[in-house]
Amino acid sequence: MSKAIQISKFGGPEVLELKEINLPKLGPKEVLLKNSSIGLNFIDTYHRSGLYPLNLPSGIGVEGSGVVVEKGSDVKLFKIGDRVAYSSMPIGAYSEIHIMPEEKLVSVPNDISHEIASSMLLKGMTCEYLLHRTYKVTSKDTILFHAAAGGVGQIFCQWAKKIGCKLIGTVGSEEKIEIAKKNGCDHVINYTTDNFAKKTLEITDGKGVDVVYDGVGEKTFEGSIETLKVRGMFVTFGNASGPIKTIELKKHIAPKAIFITRPSVFPYTSTREELEMSAKMVFEAFKEKKIKMEIVKKYSLSEARKAHEDLEARKLKGPAIILT
Ligand SMILES: NC(=O)c1ccc[n+]([C@@H]2O[C@H](COP(=O)([O-])OP(=O)(O)OC[C@H]3O[C@@H](n4cnc5c(N)ncnc54)[C@H](OP(=O)(O)O)[C@@H]3O)[C@@H](O)[C@H]2O)c1
């Protein structure tokens, strides 16, 4: 048995229920781990609302860090007592005990706490691929990142700044401006009060930016395309304000011959080599102080509903976690 958050229908935060669940029999290549700390991610709200459909009833959550307590007969990579973290399906991280395939786990270095690992792995690996693989950002680039005071924003902006590019960030309120600056933004625009596309073009002397990283989606889409330079790249990696409705070749892509990609951390870490490489880059960036982690809020498992309410109400100014 394990305490776990379950949903039996899609909807608002109220569909999250804390239950005692029976655990299935461990498969030969599976590991049973005791979660110490769980990552709170915007994708959890898409799963809960049904934007990204799940088979119901279902657990929720894709990121956690804990200790191996039992292993299947054919598990080779880990032993009982190992400290491990994950950022992947199968869903169900909001739980005391979680079963994961061994190939989806990474070792957590001894000098990194479970709290830090679970606040950083999914968001950090996302930043790793966005900055180094989707588009290889260099010191010559000027880039725009939306929601620069958010969870991914905290890590992305610090890491981008270490690369030495010119970084423009957007935020939704005045109080988040200082946070985005502290994270490393050279310029911060409040996109609820200012026209961010116009301001970005002013900052870049009308040239536009090399890349836009857009996790906001519907609300920022048109403006993001406007801010791009000729042959720039639009990276749409999330839907915090709702999904983009339509992308038109003639209207959005052809005029400046831009590139559009819709990446996700899962296909960027789908092989064992990629997962190990990406996690290593994140843990090293943390140890080398390229990124500092400030966990802005810690919830208990029974407060999962409140955690989702706060995240969707834009109250969180950085990464948050759920403790078991
Ligand atoms: N594709 C991937 O691999 C991947 C991986 C991780 C995360 N993501 C995406 O990255 C984005 C950030 O994720 P996160 O977990 O770090 O969340 P987060 O940035 O902490 O929270 C989302 C932020 O989006 C902004 N936002 C703008 N309009 C919003 C609206 N209508 N409702 C709610 N928020 C709104 C808010 O910042 P302001 O108040 O400053 O506007 C809010 O704080 C999400 O879209 C997520 O899905 C994608």
Structure confidence by residue, pLDDT tens digits, 277-286:
999 999 999 9
Choose which residue among 159, 171, 314, 316 to substitute to test ligand 1 binding: the one with the highest number of ligand atoms within 8 A of its C-beta. 314
pLDDT of residue 49: 98
Nearest protein Cα to ligand 1, atom 43: 314
Indicate which atom in ligand 1 lies nearest the CA of residue 313.
33
Q: What is the band of 152 on the pLDDT scale with cuts at 50, 70, 90?
A: very high
- Which ligand 1 atom sits closest to the C-alpha of 41? 15
Pairing of strands 297-300, 320-323: parallel
- Which atom of ligand 1 is the closest one to the Cα of 148? 40
139-262 matches 2-121+269-323 in CATH topology = no
Report which protein residue has its CA nearest ligand 1's atom 32: 241
Going from the Cα of 264 to the center of ligand 1, the distance in angstroms, rounded, reads: 14
The reported pLDDT for the residue numbered 204 is 98
Pocket probe for ligand 1: among 42, 244, 291, the residue whose CB has the most ligand atoms within 8 Å is 42
Going by CA atoms, what residue is nearest to atom 2 of ligand 1?
264
- Over residues 103-131, the mean pLDDT reads 98
The pLDDT score that the predictor gives to residue 5 is: 98
The CATH superfamily holding the domain 2-121+269-323 is: Medium-chain alcohol dehydrogenases, catalytic domain (3.90.180.10)
The pLDDT-based confidence of 122 (bands split at 50, 70, 90) is: very high
> What CATH number was assigned to the domain covering residues 139-262?
3.40.50.720
- List the chain domain ranges: 2-121+269-323, 139-262
145 vs 171: CA distance, rounded Å: 9
**Which residues surround ligand 1 with Cβ inside 6 Å?**
41-43, 122-123, 126, 147, 149-153, 171-173, 176, 215-216, 219, 237-241, 263-265, 311-312, 314, 316
Q: Of all protein residues, whose CA lies closest to atom 37 belonging to ligand 1?
A: 147
What average pLDDT does the chain have? 98
Percent of the chain with pLDDT over 70: 100
Q: Label residue 144 by pLDDT band (50, 70, 90).
A: very high
pLDDT at 70: 97
Average pLDDT over residues 313-317: 98
Average pLDDT over residues 282-294: 97
Read off the pLDDT of residues 223-253 as tens digits, 9 standing for 90 and up: 999 999 999 999 999 999 999 999 999 999 9
pLDDT of residue 298: 98
Supply angle C-alpha 314, 319, 320, rounded to 5: 85
Confidence category of residue 222, pLDDT binned at 50, 70, 90? very high
The per-residue pLDDT for range 261-270, each reduced to its tens digit, is 999 999 999 9
Q: What is the mean pLDDT of residues 171-188?
A: 98
- Output 174-179 pairs: Cβ under 8 A, ≥24 positions apart: 175/317, 176/148, 176/149, 176/317, 177/149, 179/149, 179/154, 179/317, 179/318
Roughly what angle, to the nearest 10 degrees, separates helices 151-163 and 114-129? 60
Q: Region 23-39: what's the mean pLDDT?
A: 97
